[in-house]
Amino acid sequence: MRIGIVCYPTFGGSGVLATELGKALADKGHQVHFITYQQPVRLNVFNTNIFYHEVRVPTYPLFDYPPYEVALASTMVDVIMNHDLDLLHVHYAIPHASAAYMAQQIMAKKGRKIPFITTLHGTDITLVGRDKTYEPVVTFSINESNAITAVSHNLRQETLNNFTIEKPIEVIHNFVDVKRFQKKPLDAFRKVIAPDNERILIHASNFRKVKRVADVIYTFANVCKEIPSKLLMVGDGPERNPMEALARELGVDEHVRFVGKQEQMEDILLVSDLFVLPSEYESFGLAALEAMAARVPVLSSLAGGLPEINIHGKTGYLAEVGNVAQLSEFALQALSNNEHLAYLKNEAYQQAAAFDIQNIIPHYEAIYSRFCRMECA
């Protein structure tokens, strides 16, 4: 099939998922056309089945806000016509679903049907999409999608609770390519971070309020009192500077490294002992699943779709949102005994394997084939 994928090209989970999906589809022989405003960060391979089309948004003195959605819909039309696409798969409803609807209508005027599938990822529903500035357009364009998928049962329910949805929402869980993590951990790298063989805790996110990053620092400060440990803070965002200040205030700054955005997450995860994700809400928690694939157990909040991947006492621990005492207690349980930590690491890996890319891609392909023209099958 010839598939157009629209996503955010950044480090965010929805863009990562969409890019990994496109790469896997290309490996299976589909022709994949990424339509984004920038080369997606994970699109780091050369494959003759992968095409990248940049959405250019011309500026004009009149525009305080250049009309990205118009440029996106026009680029979609251009790619559909020039590459004879069979369908569009848009990731993150805003503004991708409404732009896809616009492209679909333009194509209909030209006598050509082009279905579009919308995958809901999380904040497009739970934060941004619910805002009444966007809600009518989000509801409309979700309902106009030819198929709707959500990345967890929890997100499906959140969508039904917050919007009037007239079509079924199919749950297709996020996935991870476990073989990407089948590498030997770099001992020298571990030594640089933890020279005295301290435990390594890790957090990775976009450092937004919803991630409750302060809980990571407070928890780490408690862990440090009991077990020699280091903390790696991966990513960047509005909460980064205040968190650096908090680490100093709590007197743990010499044990905390803020390493910014990283492309080589595999190498970093492979030397880590515990992934900490205490978010207020997480529709799925792709970063946690990637940690599990690297045999890193997860200390997360009991929020959103996280319990669909993290099993308490088995693949890690689930604590109440904002309960730092509980997070600290569970972190200590995970890290204080070598045998127990080895058990958690193994279970985390087994759980990630259940969400392996090979198990999930066929679900998307099944949806595509429902809408694909006869000749593309």
Q: Which residues bind ligand GMT (CB under 6 A)?
A: 12-15, 17, 92, 121-123, 151, 174, 206, 208, 210, 281-286
Give the strand pairing for 256-260 and 316-319.
unpaired
Phi-psi region of 366 (alpha: psi -120 to 50; beta: other; left: phi over 0): alpha
Angle of helix 286-293 relative to helix 13-27, nearest 10 degrees, comes to: 60
Nearest to ligand GMT of 24, 224 (CB atom):
24
Nearest to ligand GMT of 86, 290 (CB atom):
290
In DSSP notation, 128-144 reads: TTTSTTTHHHHHHHHHH
φ and ψ at residue 53, rounded to 5 degrees: -120, 115
Nearest to ligand GMT of 13, 316 (CB atom):
13
Considering the complex, what minimum distance in angstroms separates the CB of residue 7 from ligand GMT? 9
Q: Find the distance separating the first CA and the last CA of the chain, reported in whole Å.
A: 7
Considering the complex, what minimum distance in angstroms separates the CB of residue 344 from ligand GMT? 21
Considering the complex, what minimum distance in angstroms separates the CB of residue 307 from ligand GMT? 13
E-strand spans in 141-187?
A: 147-150, 169-171
Considering the complex, what minimum distance in angstroms separates the CB of residue 192 from ligand GMT? 28
Asked whether the CA dihedral 153, 155, 157, 159 is positive or negative, the reply is: negative
Cβ 234 vs Cβ 203: under 8 Å: yes
CA nearest to 34, candidates 84, 75, 71, 94: 75
Considering the complex, what minimum distance in angstroms separates the CB of residue 107 from ligand GMT? 27
Nearest to ligand GMT of 291, 344 (CB atom):
291
Per DSSP, what are the bridge partners of residue 231? 201, 256
d(CA 266, CA 262): 10
Considering the complex, what minimum distance in angstroms separates the CB of residue 77 from ligand GMT? 25
Considering the complex, what minimum distance in angstroms separates the CB of residue 34 from ligand GMT? 16
Nearest to ligand GMT of 126, 328 (CB atom):
126
Nearest to ligand GMT of 218, 284 (CB atom):
284
CA 109 to chain centre: 35
Nearest to ligand GMT of 148, 151 (CB atom):
151
